[in-house]
A and B are shown apart, each in its own frame.
Chain A
Amino acid sequence: MSKPKVAIFDFACCEGCQLQIVNMEEDLLELISVVDPVEWREAMSDHRDGYDIAIVEGSITRHEDEERLQEIRSHAGMLIALGSCATTGGVNKLKNKFDLNDVKRCVYCDSAHLPHLNTALTKALDEVVKVDYKVHGCPINNKEFAYILRCILMGKKPFIPNYPVCVECKMKGNPCRYEYGEICLGPIIRAGCDAKCPSGGFWCYGCRGYVDNPNVNAAKEIMAQYHKTIDNLRGRMFLFGSKQEQTL
């Protein structure tokens, strides 16, 4: 079997998820021995047309970017969304809370009307084109990325956790962030990150998006137990939760 041609593209993002691919270090050298990288602007100057798998980081925030993504999709047999900006719109979706003219004026002042400074509502990739696989997280967990790619190359369906971060956090033996008086989104957010944030001393801010059917009642119980309100929880959900309808 010939090696699948892989191309990596990016839209509005911090390129931190591509950096996680670089951060695979020696494993990256192994990875490129089983795939044929044909385009990766951040790391390679040569590129060849045509690819089987497109890996796309970033959110869509301009009309011209929608067209570019559709073009990429039309060439790709398979499209993988890389990281929160691509899978949910990520932190870029905070912009959608505001009036876009106000946002532009805030940043560009009197020049806000110039056409090259235009912006549209932020979209996740699957709001524009069909997405075959999602690698969640801000940034992605590069072990999970390697696992998903391995599954794809072997024709298997990758297992993506559909249980909350609390499961992984408990397994790591972390004290609950609510014990510190904090609001943590762990009870409703998809695991798979190895509970990096609570393990590092921070609350979960929900970068992997909600589990498919968040246990709303359990979340409410936790809020009551720690004398917090659902509004407290909603406030935290803005950071990465703006894509999905609010569930609480």
Chain B
Amino acid sequence: MSKSIDVNVHHITRVEGHGNIVLNTSNGKIEKLEWQVPEAPRFFEAMVRGRMWDEIQPIVCRICGICSFAHSLAALKAVEGALGVEISEQTDKLRILAYYGEQLESHVLHVGYLIAPDLLGVKSVVPLASSHPDAVKTIVAAHRVGNQWMELLGGRMTHPVSFRVGGFGKLPTDEELKELRKSLVDTVPKLEIIAELVMSLADKLPAFERDTEYIALMEPGVYTFYHGDIGSTDTSDKVNIHEFESVVNEYITKQSTAKWARWHRDSYAVGALARYNLNADHLLPLAEKTAKAFGLEKGCCNPYMNSVAQVIESVQVVEHALQLIDELLTAGITYEVPHVEAKAGMGVGAIEAPRGILFHRYAFDDDGRCVSANCCIPTNQNHGNIQKDFEALVPQIMDRGQDEIRQMLEMLVRAYDPCISCSTHFLNIEFV
């Protein structure tokens, strides 16, 4: 092979944040192949130092506009752990319910607005509005349900205001929960249409596989997004979330302002496919049916299939949300006033953000002022795995045209649903 390839994608489109793809080959030899992250770092962990315990969530939810509920809830869990605050079963259920709204919204946004254009051979969702009006209407409708769901329980679609340390600042009424229930029942057939659309285009997803380690929260008997320990496809041992630093092992590279992570191998993957590979046995019936229709096997190591796992999870969260609403309505919503007292302590919160496992750790002094923080974001845990995928994929496709190679690399990055502005705020503080 004598041709040279020169792919230089500056600021890849249809992803959150700024990333570059660089591939140079000469005479069939790879000279440079890099997934680069030049995003401007924002230094959240440094900025929260000195802030009071009740200011942490409103600050750190702003790490990310797309997963602000995940950041909020991880932060609240960590702050509550540090201050020894117990929360009620009602709060726990309402938070999980609220969080599922973000899962749905984010997954539909990713699959419908960011991935579908690749599968349909266009540059954005804009031309699809005229070429596939019904599909776009369905996607928009499902997306809006996710947003209204978040607004009801979080007070706002982005950067929620109803979550408080210890509970809620504003609770939904029984009537509002019933309305949400009705809209979720109506959403199930919409998700079936989206699943059918993705299924009809699944042959456009490249058939590329690379065995890697997958990491996600695991909780006995549950397809969990919220509770549990850290599990891996490489070991049956579980790690308590308080030890998350021993899993992520962050390190700094020259090609990225975001840190990278590795555990048992050079890299690992988090996100919908990781959750599926670890927890698929616990899907609820409708989600399981969707998974069967796709034929997605547990143990799949094709990163492009992450989008399919997101479709299955969209069904799962709606299905589980309906159960949670019924449980909440049966018990009746009780008015509770969170009671919190400042004290010294340290706490950890973990949650499965739409794009993978997310950890927050905070320590506070006697007055309840934050003395140190550590946020470990899913996308930074995926950066190294994206690079390793590149290195395995490119030799397999080098005989193809440069545009096709570029497109496959872009699609690979998009498949991970990266949230790059999130991923540039890590640190490795020594906690003493």
Q: Which A residues fall within an 8 A CB radius of B?
A: 11-20, 22-23, 25-26, 29, 32, 37, 40-47, 61-62, 65, 90-92, 94-95, 97-98, 102-104, 106-109, 111, 114, 116-117, 119, 138-139, 196-197, 199-202, 205, 235, 238-239
Contacts and interface: CB of A to CB of B under 8 A. Distances in A.
Nearest to A18: B65
Interface of B: 11, 13-17, 38, 40-43, 45-52, 55, 58-59, 62-66, 68, 109, 113-114, 117, 123-126, 129, 136, 140, 143-144, 147, 154-162, 164, 168-170, 252, 254, 257, 421-422, 425-429
A95 B254 contact: no
12 contacts: A15-B65, A16-B62, A18-B65, A25-B140, A46-B123, A103-B43, A106-B46, A106-B429, A111-B252, A196-B161, A197-B156, A235-B52
A25 B58 contact: no
Contact of A95 (B43, B117, B129, B168): B43
Give the residue among A43, A92, A103, A117 with the most B Cβ atoms within 10 A: A43
Contact of A107 (B11, B64, B168, B427): B427
Contacts of B136: 29
Nearest to A137: B159
B169 A44 contact: no
Give the residue among B162, B168, B252, B429 with the most A Cβ atoms within 10 A: B252
Given A16-B62, A23-B147, A41-B13, A107 B421 contact: no
A108 B155 contact: no
A52 B137 CA distance: 30
A91 B59 contact: yes
A16 B61 CA distance: 10
Given A107-B426, A200-B154, 9 more contacts: A15-B421, A19-B157, A29-B129, A43-B113, A46-B123, A94-B48, A98-B49, A196-B155, A200-B170
Given A106-B45, A239-B55, A239-B59, A139 B113 contact: no
A14 B62 contact: yes
A107 B164 contact: no
Contacts of B156: 139, 196-197, 200
A197 B65 contact: no
Nearest to B12: A41
Given A14-B65, A44-B13, A202 B157 contact: no
Contacts of B17: 15
Nearest to B156: A196
A196 B307 CA distance: 33
B159 A138 contact: yes
Nearest to A204: B161
A117 B43 CA distance: 11
Ranked nearest first, the 6 interchain pairs of A and B with the lowest CB-CB distance are: A16-B65, A201-B169, A200-B155, A201-B170, A200-B161, A44-B124
Contacts of A92: 42
Contacts of B164: 201-202
Contacts of B144: 25
Contacts of A103: 43, 46-47
B58 A239 contact: yes
Contact of B158 (A20, A91, A200): A20
A247 B124 CA distance: 46
Contacts of B126: 32, 37, 44
Contacts of A97: 47, 50
Given A14-B63, A41-B11, A239-B59, A119 B38 contact: no
Given A16-B65, A16-B68, A65-B40, A42 B14 contact: yes
A24 B117 CA distance: 19
A107 B36 CA distance: 19
Contacts of A199: 155, 170
Contacts of A119: 40-41, 43
Contacts of B160: 200
B13 A201 contact: no
A45 B144 CA distance: 23
Give the residue among A23, A95, A107, A235 with the most B Cβ atoms within 10 A: A107
Give the residue among A37, A40, A116 with the most B Cβ atoms within 10 A: A116
A17 B155 contact: no
B161 A116 contact: no
A116 B14 contact: no
A44 B43 contact: no
A235 B427 CA distance: 26
Given A19-B65, A106-B429, A12 B157 contact: no
Given A107-B425, A107-B427, A138-B159, A14 B43 contact: no
Nearest to B372: A106
B155 A202 contact: yes
A106 B45 CA distance: 8
Contacts of B427: 106-109
A32 B13 CA distance: 18
A94 B123 CA distance: 37
A239 B124 CA distance: 36
B123 A14 contact: no
B160 to A, nearest CB: 8
B259 to A, nearest CB: 8
Contacts of A202: 58, 155, 161-162, 164, 169
